Structure 1
Amino acid sequence: MFGMVMTYELVIFDCDGVLVDSEPIANRVLRDALAREGLKMTLAEVVSEFVGLSMTSVVKRAEELLGRPLPADFLDRVQAETFEVFHRELTAVEGIHDVVAHLKEQGIKSCVASSGDFAKMEVTLGLTGLKDDFDGRIFSSSQVSRGKPWPDLYLFAANQMGVDPALCLVVEDSLPGVRGAVTAGMDVLAYSVRGECDDLLKAGGVVIHRMTDVLDHLD
């Protein structure tokens, strides 16, 4: 649809890496936690394997790579450490406040659809001043049977917002996210700050490198 004049009724944002600059922090903490369990990975490998997946899927994949189950409290420990660093370092993605304000001014609906759980988004969106902007319009993969790269979460969000999927624009930063949104029949802007342009394009996203590029597409 990107070659046509398109009016979108809903913009669906991923959270981590799109609204909040949490990915570098979370990936670093996860890398260190996995290393303590004997799974040595570079930061690039962690990004390649896990970005865009729910934490349940992350644990499942990590256990496959490790060849044994992770401790029962692994996720709790990772989350506690991640939140601790968030409170010291987390910021909103540059330009996102301008984008959100523009959508509100133009009367375009917006919502969040994230692989993260509600507890995490409560912290990240709260710390970055974005929580009130999406109050009552925050959706998590915990609400559907299949997370990204399946389309379920995007379709659920569109349904809850009362908008046809064909009239939705998704802003994502991961391959699973882009693939899921494309499968849901939605247009996708793929926000790339990690040099994944080719893969994101092949998955069906139109790559942008600044968050304010969203405004150009809307206009």
Structure 2
Amino acid sequence: MTRPICLLFDCDGTLVDSEPLLAAEMAASLTAAGLPFRTEDYMGGFRGARFRNIVAALEAQHGRVDPDHLETLEAVMRANLNQRLATDLTPIDGATEALAVLTDYPMGVVSNGPENKVSTSLNTVGLTEVFGNRIFSGYTANCWKPDPCLYLHAASIMGFAAEDCIAIDDAIVGVQAALAAGMTVIHLNRFPDAEETPEGAIMITSMFQLPTVISRIQRQHQSAMQASHA
């Protein structure tokens, strides 16, 4: 019997359309703290990045912010964001439909965001039961994409080797992390005119395409396993 494939999904921008909400809250909070930031800055150069890495990049341009003030700012920003996620969030087009087709696969969520943010997001769009407690947060593992450690941590907890995992991620930092981890990577490139899929990743432009691509990879995986045991 061939080993199953484990599917590891990013959350923001892959399963849920949370990035416009996140960008708006981040822009308001950071700008108020003296770190000028626009919503388009997040969507342009910082998608998927850890909040503190964004702050560090802005501080390099505009000067340091008092760490205590920054901690309070982040707490308020996340509280405001969670309120909006609970009421305004919608799934990425095709995500719910794709997951419904892929229910036979082991699945987890791998996110740079805090676990409570991921849980709120999945609950709002009705995906909590799909993933259960299989949520892997950078804040829980204490490692963040683009470091491969977060994806490797998730694979280990799920009980899979990296080569038996498929990572589905929309952000370049996530794609880079999963590639470095040695996984098969599907890049959900929703902005193909503005963003280039890294070499080694498989590009899709819609989650509606995902089941077909997964099925093809599964067949290739089975063939490779059979050949190795021939």
TM-score surpassing 0.5? yes
- Is 1:215 the equivalent of 2:211? yes
- Is 1:129 the equivalent of 2:126? yes
**Residue among 55, 60, 65 paired with 2:61:** 65
Give 1:197 shift: 5.9
**In the alignment, what sits opposite 1:89?**
88
- Is 1:144 the equivalent of 2:130? no
Asked if the contact 2:172–2:198 (Cα under 8 Å) also holds between the matched residues in 1, the reply is: no
Hey, which bits of structure 1, 4+ residues long, moved more than 6 A? none
**In the alignment, what sits opposite 1:42?**
38
Moved more, 53-62 or 171-180: 53-62
Aligned length: 211
**One-letter amino acid of the structure 2 residue matched with residue 127 of structure 1:** T
Partner Cα distance (2:193, 2:108) in 1: 25
1:97-140, Cα deviation, whole Å (9 max, x unpaired): 22222221xx2111101001111112111111111211121111
Give 1:146 shift: 2.7
**In the alignment, what sits opposite 2:164?**
167
Partner Cα distance (1:65, 1:83) in 2: 29
Give 1:81 shift: 1.8
| TM-aligned CA distance change 1:197 to 1:102, over 3 Å | farther
Partner Cα distance (2:61, 2:116) in 1: 27
| TM-aligned CA distance change 1:49 to 1:217, over 3 Å | same
TM-score, normalization: structure 1? Answer: 0.87
Moved more, 134-143 or 187-196: 187-196
Q: State the percentage of identical aligned residues.
A: 28
**One-letter amino acid of the structure 2 residue matched with residue 132 of structure 1:** E
**One-letter amino acid of the structure 2 residue matched with residue 10 of structure 1:** C
Asked if the contact 1:52–1:174 (Cα under 8 Å) also holds between the matched residues in 2, the reply is: yes
**One-letter amino acid of the structure 1 residue matched with residue 201 of structure 2:** G
**In the alignment, what sits opposite 2:15?**
19
Q: 5+ unaligned residues in a row in structure 2: which ranges?
A: 216-230
Give 1:51 shift: 1.6
Moved more, 81-90 or 156-165: 81-90
**One-letter amino acid of the structure 2 residue matched with residue 14 of structure 1:** D
Give 1:205 shift: 2.3
| TM-aligned CA distance change 1:121 to 1:76, over 3 Å | same
Partner Cα distance (2:28, 2:191) in 1: 20
Give 1:193 shift: 2.0
Question: Aligned runs of 1:109-124 on 2, under 5 Å?
Answer: 109-124=106-121
**Structure 1 vs Structure 2 CA RMSD:** 2.1
| TM-aligned CA distance change 1:35 to 1:58, over 3 Å | same
Partner Cα distance (1:149, 1:218) in 2: 23
Q: 5+ unaligned residues in a row in structure 1: which ranges?
A: 1-5
Asked if the contact 2:33–2:65 (Cα under 8 Å) also holds between the matched residues in 1, the reply is: no
Give 1:213 shift: 1.0
Moved more, 51-60 or 167-176: 51-60
SS at structure 2 position matched to 1:48: helix
Task: Point out the structure with max Rg over C-alpha.
Answer: 2
